[in-house]
Structure 1
C-alpha cells in the first residue's frame, strides 16, 4: 500500500466521518465533501448506540469523549401505558464485556465528536459541496464538483445517506421504501429516576419510549402509523406529539410538559432498503445508509453504518489492489449481518402494524443480537 493513493468520501455523517478517520490513520489522502453548509445540521434529537457501535467508536479513538458525553446503561424497561413497569430486560453487551450494552447521547454531540476527529485526521473537508459527475476508468474516478472544481481519485466512497445521489449516479436503482410507520422525536430535560430506556406498548401509539442522553437530558419518541406529511403543518408538531404522549403515565407527564416548541420536534417516516448483489460499481462503493436502512426497532442503524466504515477501511488499507474482488469481498462480509438486522427491524414493526398479539419479538431479538457480538 502506497501513501499516494487517494480517496473521496461523499457525505459527512457517521459512515463517512468514520471511514475518513480510519483511512487517514493509514496514510491515505482523503477529501471529504458534504452537501450541507452546516456540517452538524443533523435532524433528530438523540441516538441510541449499542455495544457494537461503541466498539467501532473505540477503534476510532473517540470512545472516551462518547462515554463522557452520553449515558450508559445495561437494561431496557417494558412498561404499561400508565407507566407501570412490567419487565426489565438486561441488554446483551454486543461490543464486549468491557463496554456498556447501550449508550444514549444527543445526536448533534456525537456528530461534533466525529467532526473533530475528521478535522484532527488531516483530511481535506469541503462543506456545501456535491460530487456532480463521476467518470470512471480502470485506474480511478474523475469527479466534477458543484463548485466547478475537479479531482481524480483511486476510490470514491458514497456515504451520502438514504437519498444518496451517488447511488443513483452509478446506476444502482434501489430506493428506500416506507414501512408504514413514523416517529415523533424531541429532546427534553431528564426527569430524576430515568436511568435507562423504557418502552410502553399500546395506548394511542404503537410505542412510546425515551432514552437518557446525558446526566440532564433525554430524547423521547412515539411511533405511530405514518401520515401524509403534507397534512401536518410544521407549526402543529408540538401539539401533535403532545396529544400522543399525554396518554402515558410514569415519567411521561414531566416529559410532555416540555413538548412546547414545534421547531424542536422531528417527524420522520420509517423506511427500509437493502441493496443486493454488490455495493459498488467500478471504483465507487456505497457505505452506510446509502447501501441499507431500516426502522430503529433494534437501534442498529448507526451501528451498521459504523461497521461498514470499519470493514471497508480495513480492506482498503490491507490490500495491494483496489479492484472488483476487494469491493465484492466487502459486500460479502457485510451482507449477512446487515440483512439480518434489516429484516428483523422491519419484522418487528410489521407485527405491530398487523396487530399480531403473540409475535415472538423476544425470540427474534435473541436470534439476531448475538450475531452482533461477533466482530464485523
Structure 2
C-alpha cells in the first residue's frame, strides 16, 4: 500500500509533471497545479544526457521524445578563429546505458507537451492558471486553499515550482539563490544540415558559444557572456546583440547567424545557483527540482536531476507504507550527495571560465559521468 493516497503537485515543469506521472501510474490520486495559463517552458531547447533519457523511458515517453528530438554521441570543440576549426572531438559517455544515445537535444516546449499528454493519459488532473494561497498541515494531512477560492486536503504536497518557489517560501525553508556571474543568450531556429551534434567554442569575446540540434529542422544556439543588465533592450536590440556577439564564431555559426531573424525567439537569463541543505521537506510538504537545487548548465544535468528527484520520491512513496522518518531518510540518502556533486561540478566549471583558469575538466566530467551512470 502506498504511503499516500492523494497528492498535490505544485508546478508543471519537468520535476512536477514527472512526479505526477509516476504517482498516478502507481494508483495515487494526483492534482497538478501550474500558475502559467498553458503548457509552456522557459527557454528554447534542452540538452538531455543519457541518464535523463533513461528517466523519460521510465515515464513511458521515451519513444515519443526520441521521435521529436535529435540524438548524438560526440561533442566537438572548435576554435574561435575565422575557420571555426574543429580542435578535437569528445565521445560522450552513455550515462543512461547502452540502450540510449549519449545525448539528445530537444525543444523544451515539445518535451513539456509530451509529458503533459502522458500525465493526462495516466489520470493526473491538471489545472493551469492556478496556484495556492495557503497551506495548513497537521499530522494527518495538508489543507490547501487555492487562489480561485476552492480548497483541498492532501496527504502530501510536492513543491516543484522552480527557482523562486512559492512553496519553499511558504514553509520557511531558507535558501539563498546566488548569481554565478554569467548571462546566457539563447535562440531557437532552423538547423543547418551540417549541425549534427553540439559543438562548443571556448574563448573569443564570450566564455562559450555553442549550439545543439533539437530536431530534424531545428536547433538552439547559445552564447555565454559576463552577466549584464540587459533588461532595457528591446526585442530587436536583443537579437542584434546576440548576432553581434556571434560574429567572433565561424564554421556552422555562419549559417546559424544568417538564420537569426526572429527577435521573439531570443531570450537572455543569468546563471544562478542554490542547494537546499537537507531536509528538503517540512512535515508533509517536500521540495524537488529547481525549488531545492539549481546550477549553471555547464554539464547539462539540470533536467536529469529534476527527473531523478521525481523518480526517487515516487518510488519511495509507492513502496513504503508510511510517510515518516524512514522514507525521508531514504529520500535524502539517495538524492542529496548526488545532487550536491552535480551542483558543485557545474559551479566549478563556471568558476574556471570566470577566472580564465585551465581546470581539469576531463577528470571532473568523467567523475560526474561515472556517478550519474548509476541509476538514482
TM-score by length of 1: 0.97
SS state at 2:100 partner: coil
SS state at 2:312 partner: helix
Number of the residue aligned with 1:77: 76
Number of the residue aligned with 1:100: 101
Q: CA deviation at 1:177?
A: 1.2
CA deviations over 1:216-248 (Å, ceiling 9, x no partner): 111100001100233434441101100111111
Q: Separation in 2 of the partners of 1:46 and 1:2?
A: 36
Q: CA deviation at 1:2?
A: 5.6
8 Å Cα contact 1:70-1:214 kept in structure 2: yes
Q: Does 1:286 align with 2:287?
A: yes
Q: Separation in 2 of the partners of 1:124 and 1:277?
A: 30
Q: Separation in 2 of the partners of 1:313 and 1:121?
A: 15
Alignment of 1:108-127 (within 5 A): 108-127=109-128
8 Å Cα contact 1:43-1:266 kept in structure 2: no
Once the two structures are overlaid, the 10-residue window that deviates more, 285-294 or 168-177, is: 168-177
SS state at 2:306 partner: helix
Aligned residues: 374
Number of the residue aligned with 1:252: 253
Query: How large is the Cα RMSD of the aligned pairs?
Result: 1.2
Q: CA deviation at 1:361?
A: 1.1
Q: Separation in 2 of the partners of 1:190 and 1:374?
A: 33
Q: Separation in 1 of the partners of 2:158 and 2:278?
A: 17
Q: Separation in 2 of the partners of 1:202 and 1:372?
A: 28
Q: Does 1:140 align with 2:122?
A: no
SS state at 1:317 partner: helix
Number of the residue aligned with 1:314: 315
8 Å Cα contact 2:3-2:323 kept in structure 1: no
Q: Separation in 2 of the partners of 1:65 and 1:48?
A: 16
SS state at 1:229 partner: coil
Number of the residue aligned with 2:364: 364
Number of the residue aligned with 2:131: 130
Q: CA deviation at 1:261?
A: 2.4
Q: Separation in 2 of the partners of 1:272 and 1:78?
A: 26
8 Å Cα contact 1:163-1:175 kept in structure 2: no
Number of the residue aligned with 1:210: 211
Structure 1 gaps, min length 5? none
Q: CA deviation at 1:125?
A: 1.1
Number of the residue aligned with 1:22: 22
Q: CA deviation at 1:327?
A: 2.2
Number of the residue aligned with 1:373: 373
Q: Separation in 2 of the partners of 1:265 and 1:317?
A: 41
Q: Separation in 2 of the partners of 1:247 and 1:329?
A: 49
Q: Separation in 2 of the partners of 1:137 and 1:235?
A: 52
Number of the residue aligned with 1:53: 52
CA deviations over 1:84-125 (Å, ceiling 9, x no partner): 000100000000011100000111111110010011111111
Q: Separation in 2 of the partners of 1:272 and 1:260?
A: 32
Q: Does 1:295 align with 2:296?
A: yes
Q: Separation in 2 of the partners of 1:123 and 1:368?
A: 34
Q: CA deviation at 1:258?
A: 1.8
Q: CA deviation at 1:3?
A: 9.5
8 Å Cα contact 1:242-1:256 kept in structure 2: yes
Q: Separation in 2 of the partners of 1:289 and 1:311?
A: 16
Number of the residue aligned with 2:61: 62
Q: Separation in 2 of the partners of 1:262 and 1:176?
A: 29
Q: Separation in 1 of the partners of 2:245 and 2:8?
A: 44
